[in-house]
Chains A and B, each alone.
Chain A
Amino acid sequence: MVDVPFDTVAGVPPAEVGEVELYHPRSWWTRYVFSQDAKVIAIQYSITAMSIGMVALVLSWLMRLQLGFPGTFSFIDPNQYLQFITMHGMIMVIYLLTALFLGGFGNYLIPLMVGARDMVFPYVNMLSYWIYLLAVVVLASTFFVPGGPTGAGWTLYPPQAILSGTPGQDWGIVLMLASLILFIIGFTMGGLNYVVTVLQARTRGMTLMRLPLTVWGIFTATVMALLAFPALFVASVMLLLDRLLGTSFFMPTLVEMGTLTKYGGGSPILFQHLFWFFGHPEVYIVALPAFGIISDLISVHARKNIFGYRMMVWAIVGIGALSFVVWAHHMYVSGMHPYFGFFFATTTLIIAIPTAIKVYNWVLTLWRGDIHLTIPMLFALAFIVTFVNGGLTGLFLGNVVVDVPLSDTMFVVAHFHMVMGIAPIMAVFGGIYHWYPKVTGRMLNEALGRFHFWVSFLGAYAIFFPMHYLGLLGMPRRYHDIGETAFVPASAHDLNAFMSVAALIVGFAQLVFLFNLIWSLFKGREAGGNPWGAASLEWQTPETPPGHGNWGKELPIVYRWAYDYSVPGAAGDFVPQNEPPAGVLAQGAHP
Chain B
Amino acid sequence: MAVAIILILVAVASVLFHIFSPWWWTPLASNWRYIDDTITLTFWITGAVFFAVVAFMAYCVLRFRHTEGRRAVYNPENKKLEWWLSVGTAIGVAAMLAPGLIVWHQFVTVPAGATEVEVMGQQWQWSYRLPGKDGRLGTSDARNVSAENPMGLNPDDPAGQDDVVIQNDDLHLPLGKPVKVLLRSIDVLHDFYVPEFRAKMDMIPGSVTYYWFTPTRTGTFEVLCAELCGAAHAQMRSKVVVEEEKDYHAWLEKQRTFAELSGQRDVAKATYTRESE
Contact = CB atoms under 8 A, between A and B. Distances in A.
A236 interface: no
A283 B233 CA distance: 27
Interface in B58-99: 60-61, 64-66, 70-78, 81-82, 85-86, 89-90, 93, 96-97
Interface string B19-49: 0011111100000101100110010011001
Interface string A303-345: 1110111110000000000000000000001110011011001
A407 B201 CA distance: 10
B54 interface: yes
B226 interface: yes
Contact of B199 (A269, A396, A404): A404
A368 B75 contact: yes
A368 B63 CA distance: 8
B25 A405 contact: yes
B38 A491 contact: no
A408 B10 CA distance: 27
A475 to B, nearest CB: 9
A369 B56 CA distance: 13
B72 A392 contact: no
B275 to A, nearest CB: 26
A346 B186 contact: no
A17 interface: no
Contacts of A480: 234
Interface string A457-500: 01001000110011011101011111101110101100100000
B77 A152 contact: no
Interface stretch (B168-176, B187-195, B250-258): B187-195
B35 A163 contact: no
B77 A2 contact: yes
Contacts of B39: 396, 402, 405-406
B112 interface: no
Contact of B107 (A369, A393, A404): A404
Contact of B46 (A307, A392, A487): A392
B93 A349 contact: yes
B85 A395 contact: no
A255 B64 contact: no
A163 B188 contact: yes
B26 A402 contact: no
Interface stretch (B154-162, B203-211, B266-274): B203-211
Given A167-B231, A381-B7, 15 more contacts: A2-B77, A151-B231, A163-B188, A165-B229, A302-B72, A303-B71, A303-B72, A333-B201, A349-B96, A363-B56, A368-B75, A381-B3, A404-B199, A476-B226, A478-B234
24 contacts: A160-B230, A163-B188, A253-B142, A253-B143, A254-B187, A254-B205, A258-B145, A258-B147, A304-B75, A342-B101, A353-B89, A363-B56, A369-B72, A384-B53, A392-B46, A402-B39, A405-B39, A407-B200, A407-B226, A458-B10, A474-B26, A481-B234, A487-B26, A491-B22
